[in-house]
Amino acid sequence: MFVPSPLPVPIVTWIINTFIGCLIIAMIIRAFASWFRFDERFAFIRVLARLTDPFILPIRRVVGPVWLLDISFLIALFMLLILRTLLLQAIPYGW
């Protein structure tokens, strides 16, 4: 049985790590911006909001704020980390 050798650069692994890593960084920057009262007047924050809202808003609708803290960010971050781990385990070695 022919088994192809692994690629020199695991492209699919790199794409998954890069995409989810960029989303996590965008979520962290947006969280810091909200702490320092940067709102969507700034174009950079609007871009971050468009990138991260599909992950945060559904969780925010279900969970809601706990006292004064919005924990939807932490839940979304945790879910992205789990998704990355599951995707990386699902693909064959060397992809």
* Overall size of the chain counted in residues: 95
Residue 16 lies in domain: 11-87
**Is 81 inside a domain boundary?**
yes
Within 8 A by CB and 6+ apart from 81, the residues are: 20, 24
**Is 93 inside a domain boundary?**
no
pLDDT of the chain, 95 residues: tens digit per residue: 766 666 667 888 899 999 999 999 999 998 888 888 887 788 888 999 999 999 999 998 998 878 877 889 999 999 999 999 999 999 887 77
**Is 59 inside a domain boundary?**
yes
This model's pTM is above 0.95: no
Q: How many domains does the chain have?
A: 1
CB atoms within 10 A of CB 52: 21
